[in-house]
Amino acid sequence: MSKFIPKKEKVEGQIKPKLKVKVTINGETHYLNEYDAFQMISEDKQKIAQLSQAVEGILTAMEEATQQVSVPTQGKLSLPKLGVKLES
């Protein structure tokens, strides 16, 4: 983000934030400036990357676990007969 600052008003370091955004997070109202908003976006992006790595690891583990399970190769499944009679 670039902004023209006249020489007489030039400030050393970070410029005072101009933008304020009202947001509601978990039922609470907060006012964020642009620095806070971008910091929040950056942190969320890191959390999403960590979650996607965790999900990928879980899926890989599930695939390996299912490959190790042996499934019987019978053509039919036999179910036990239940001795239930319906009377009308």
Dump pLDDT digits (tens) for 47-86: 999 999 999 999 999 888 888 776 666 666 666 666 656 5
pLDDT at 33: 84
CA–CA separation, 69 vs 72, rounded Å?
10
Domain boundaries, the chain: 40-65
Tell me, what amino acid is at 44?
D
pLDDT at 52: 94
**What pTM was estimated for this model as a whole?**
0.48
Are the C-beta atoms of 32 and 26 separated by less than 8 Å?
Answer: no
What tokens does 7 get? 């020489």
How does pLDDT run across 3-48, given as a tens digit for each residue?
555 555 555 666 676 788 888 888 999 888 888 888 888 999 999 9
